[in-house]
Amino acid sequence: MRPIRRLLSMLGRRSAPPSAAATTPQRWRVSPSVDADELAAAFTAAYEGLAPDGVWRAPGRVNLMGEHTDYNEGLVLPLALPWGVSAALARTDDGVVEARSVQRPGETVRFHPHELAVTPDGRGSVGGWGAYVAGVFWALREAGHLAGPSAGARLLLDSDLPVGAALSSSAALECATLLAVVDAFGLADLAGDPVAMARLARRAENDFVGAPTGIMDQSASLRCSAGHAFFLDCRSEGGREIPLALEEHDLRLLVIDTRVQHALAASGSGYAARRAECERAARLLGVAALRDVEDLPGALRSLRDPVLRGRVQHVVTEIHRVNATVGLLRSGHLPEVGRVLTASHLSMRDQFEISCPELDTAVEAACAAGARGARMTGGGFGGSAIALVPRDRLADVRARVAKAFVEKGWREPEFRVAVAAQGAHRVR
């Protein structure tokens, strides 16, 4: 049963019979987007007749190139996915926020925005999935919005993005919530300013949720446009749309979710450790950020620690790979991007050490079956890989990757063909 129907039936409403898409055992739905009218109806059922002010949607992302470069003030090249988080929201003036999720029937997150706080050890006063929602309200108040004790809201969230698959489900949740609040409360300073909104959503993630991420995911969710990758300079925050002509070249972008869960927030996580290593290397090299390393051979000679040398080599060459990818895309050489993808994967596997056997197997099997190239995407230590695949090789690539997983005794991965979708927007 589709989660939204389960929620409606728990609430005692009759719902239409599930469609074929509803019975799929996959974590991803077949339908490309969550239906806004259905979500609005479920909202009204969940909140005793209250109608939402609207429905907003923010996508997840894959990153075509530039991994772990964002917090090194470098370059990234993500694209928005057709899957994301939808938020139905009604503004209230009772000073209470209640949030429910179609994926978590029976759970209600409840807080008073003016009481939200961050503890001295850097954790927000609301945990679990509610932290992403509360973090947005906290960050808004920290920035001087929603002043006074009466601002409140009711939210119902729905998602067709898997959690922990490195496709930015957290950023999608933050950005859907943020856009809904900005619109429903008429926050004129933020509306139409996706750069400021991305900073604010990142603040929620870094300072309230406690995940020390960069700015890429929130920027991708809010700033990407359909049919394009988004070339972002994470220092200046300047961005540019780069057309992604997959159809023209008869290529497909295959997302392979290894179903190995990754997590960014845990203290002592590999992500936090990599970030700390990069900052240490920058200090030793006397630069503000690794983006500023111009003489890579010289920098590598001057670092004694082989671990730090690997980290620096990855970040600096990865930034060059973003530029190379943009050059290939702009000059009409999309198929050649495949080799850059694979080079990036090897750098993440061997120099930055953020891959895992499942991601390596997905990349190797995809390339062996005819993909032009493949790489892990996102923070690493699990999650998803992407492969650039000629259309007529798609079935072979899926079969070969699935077979390789089964042979190793792993659960089969999930496959999805991605297109570059629109960034966050109001849908109803």
Catalytic residues: 217
Q: Coil, strand or helix: which one is 89?
A: strand
- Given the structure tokens 């190793």, which residue do they identify? 408
CB of 114 to ligand GLA, least distance (A): 28
Considering only residues 372 to 401 of the shown chain, the ones binding ligand GLA according to CB under 6 A are: 378-379
Nearest to 212, CA basis, from 379, 21, 63, 375: 379
Residues in region 288-347 near ligand GLA by CB under 6 A: none
Instruction: Tell me how far, at minimum, the Cβ of 187 lies from ligand GLA, in Å.
Output: 24
Residue 124 or 214 with smaller CB distance to ligand GLA: 214
Q: Which SS3 state, helix, strand or coil, does residue 415 take?
A: strand
Considering the rule CB under 6 A, would residue 124 count as an interface residue with ligand GLA? no
Out of 206, 213, 347, 351, the residue judged to bind ligand GLA by CB under 6 A: 213
Contact 218/171 with Cβ under 8 angstroms? yes
Tell me whether residue 168 or residue 342 sits nearer to ligand GLA (CB atom).
168
- Pairing type for strands 152-159 and 97-101 reads parallel
User: Given the complex with ligand GLA, which of 53 and 279 has the nearer CB atom?
Assistant: 279
What H or E segment, with its residue span, contains residue 235? none
Q: Out of 184, 216, 324, 341, name the contact with ligand GLA by CB under 6 A.
A: 216
Secondary structure class of 20 (helix, strand, coil): helix
Cα 143 to Cα 201: distance, rounded to the nearest angstrom: 11
- Of positions 38, 73, 217, 277, contacts ligand GLA by CB under 6 A: 217
The stretch near ligand GLA (CB under 6 A) out of 137-145, 212-220, 324-332, 405-413 is 212-220
Bridge partners, 242 (sequence order): 229
353 near ligand GLA, rule: CB under 6 A? no
For the residues of 331-356, what is the DSSP string, one character each?
TT-GGGHHHHHHHHHHHHHHTS----
Alpha carbons within 13 angstroms on the beta-carbon side of residue 240 total 10
Asked if 352 interacts with ligand GLA (CB under 6 A), we say: no
The contact pattern for ligand GLA, residues 234-273, with x = CB under 6 A and - = no contact, is ------------------------------x---------
Q: Are strands 425-426 and 54-63 parallel, antiparallel or unpaired?
A: antiparallel
| Contact present, 386 and 374 (Cβ < 8 Å) | yes
Rounded (5°) CA angle 112-116-119 = 150
Among 2, 4, 45, 67, binds ligand GLA (CB under 6 A): 67
Among positions 2, 29, 68, 314, the unique one binding ligand GLA when judged by CB under 6 A: 68
Residues in 6-65 that interact with ligand GLA by CB under 6 A: 63
- Binding stretches for ligand GLA (CB under 6 A): 63, 67-68, 70-71, 213-214, 216-217, 264, 378-379
